[in-house]
């Protein structure tokens, strides 16, 4: 049985609607089994950069420490699904999984690259650095836990010049929407249904013996899910995302996962999106 950690962190997001991430995490939590769900308290204050180049660093550091403690207290052998909040919640969760599992691979589903550093980020928001923190040491603890050759960025379609440079030189594998499925382009082309299997085979070919999957819900096309903090058109359909997760899990044991980016405009809007989100939760849990 999977365990769920609710981490309504908003301080890492660059979005104008960042505080709606708290509402999104709480909405998802309302449909999870209470006995298997723990809420990690997040500071109410924005926090300070403390000369790190990371906006709201102090609040992010406190949340990361609390999440790490909650992960350590989870029963051994049971996968933990972390529900954010912004993408930064995945970094300590991945570090925890990497410490417990030999040869961990990470598949990061996201519309954005999340590959900035404090020096290249135009916003200073940690969510835009989160994947970079998985492969490289940044000021927040838990960073640099997985080598780039076992990291896959999937479904990204809004990548700026600095992130393109990082992709070209980091060793991370980028699998775009076209390679995973039809995206928003209409009827599925011949052979395209194998995109999920191709991703799973590529991850298995790294020699990984354990898998962590992170899903920023903006990887989905906005016509599928409206309530995300930073929507980007021409994303994955829900079936394409679910097929990719299923193919990965069929090849490599899943030891941890996270979901982020749900920022509904209102309680009514949250209800409209929860059906799709709970299918993603089910695929991971």
For residue range 45-101, what is the model confidence (pLDDT) as tens digits? 999 999 999 999 999 999 999 999 999 998 877 889 999 999 999 999 999 999 999
pLDDT of residue 42: 97
Contact 135/118 with Cβ under 8 angstroms? Answer: no
- 167, 176, 269, 277: CA torsion to nearest 10: -100
Q: Which of 105, 104, 123, 137 minimizes the C-alpha distance to 49?
A: 123
Query: Quick one: how far is CA 60 from the chain centroid?
Result: 16
| Number of other residues whose CB lies within 10 A of the CB of residue 102 | 8
Q: Which residue has the tokens 């995302």?
A: 241
- Residue 193: its pLDDT value, please? 54
Q: Can you tell me the distance from the alpha carbon of 106 to that of 131, in angstroms, rounded to the nearest whole number?
A: 10
Distance of alpha carbon 139 from alpha carbon 143, whole angstroms: 8
What is the bridge-based pairing of β-strands 104-109 and 210-216? parallel
**What pLDDT does residue 188 have?**
42
Residues linked to residue 154 through DSSP beta bridges, in sequence order:
109, 175
Please tell me the pTM assigned to this model.
Answer: 0.95
Full pLDDT tens readout for the chain, 285 residues: 789 999 999 999 999 999 999 999 999 999 999 999 999 999 999 999 999 999 999 999 999 999 999 999 988 778 899 999 999 999 999 999 999 998 999 999 999 999 999 999 999 999 999 999 999 999 998 999 999 999 999 999 999 999 999 999 999 999 999 999 743 333 344 444 589 999 999 999 999 999 999 999 999 999 999 999 899 999 999 999 999 999 999 999 999 999 999 999 998 899 999 999 999 999 999
Residue 182 token pair: 């039809």
Instruction: Give me the residues paired with residue 83 across strands.
Output: 6, 259
User: Nearest 10 degrees: CA dihedral of 11, 16, 22, 26?
Assistant: -150
What is the SS3 assignment for 104?
Answer: strand
Residue 91 to residue 88: CA distance in whole angstroms: 6
What pLDDT score was predicted for residue 184? 35
d(CA 142, CA 78): 21
Give the number of other Cβ atoms within 10 Å of residue 32's Cβ. 18
Rg of the chain taking only CA atoms, in angstroms: 17
Three-state secondary structure call for residue 213: strand
Determine the pLDDT at residue 185: 35
Two tokens, residue 102? 């030999």
C-alpha distances in Å from residue 150, one per residue of 80, 210, 211, 250 = 20, 10, 10, 17
């Amino acid at each position: 049985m999977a365990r769920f950690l609710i981490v309504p962190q908003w301080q890492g997001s660059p979005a104008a609607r960042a505080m709606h991430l708290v509402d999104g995490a709480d909405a998802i939590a309302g449909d999870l089994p209470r006995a298997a769900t723990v809420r990690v308290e997040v500071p109410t204050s924005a926090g300070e950069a403390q000369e790190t180049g990371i906006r709201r660093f102090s609040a992010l550091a406190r949340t990361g420490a609390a999440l790490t403690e909650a992960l350590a207290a989870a029963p051994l052998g049971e996968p933990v699904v972390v529900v954010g909040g912004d993408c930064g919640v995945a970094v300590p969760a991945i570090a925890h999984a990497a410490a417990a599992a030999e040869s961990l691979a990470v598949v990061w589903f996201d519309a954005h690259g999340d590959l900035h550093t404090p020096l290249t980020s135009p916003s200073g928001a940690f969510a835009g650095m989160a994947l970079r923190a998985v492969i490289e040491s940044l000021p927040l603890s838990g960073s640099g836990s997985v080598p780039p050759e076992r990291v896959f960025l999937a479904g990204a379609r809004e990548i700026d010049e600095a992130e393109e440079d990082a992709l070209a030189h980091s060793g991370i594998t980028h699998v775009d929407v076209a390679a995973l499925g039809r995206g928003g382009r209409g009827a599925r082309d011949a052979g395209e249904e194998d995109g999920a299997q191709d991703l799973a085979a590529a991850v298995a070919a790294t020699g990984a013996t354990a898998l962590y999957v992170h899903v920023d819900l903006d990887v989905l096309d906005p016509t599928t899910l409206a309530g995300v903090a930073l929507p980007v058109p021409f994303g994955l359909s829900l079936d394409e995302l679910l097929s990719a997760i299923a193919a990965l899990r069929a090849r490599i044991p899943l030891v941890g996962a996270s979901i982020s980016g749900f920022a509904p405009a209102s309680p009514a809007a949250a209800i409209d999106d929860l059906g799709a989100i709970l299918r993603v939760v089910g695929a991971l849990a």
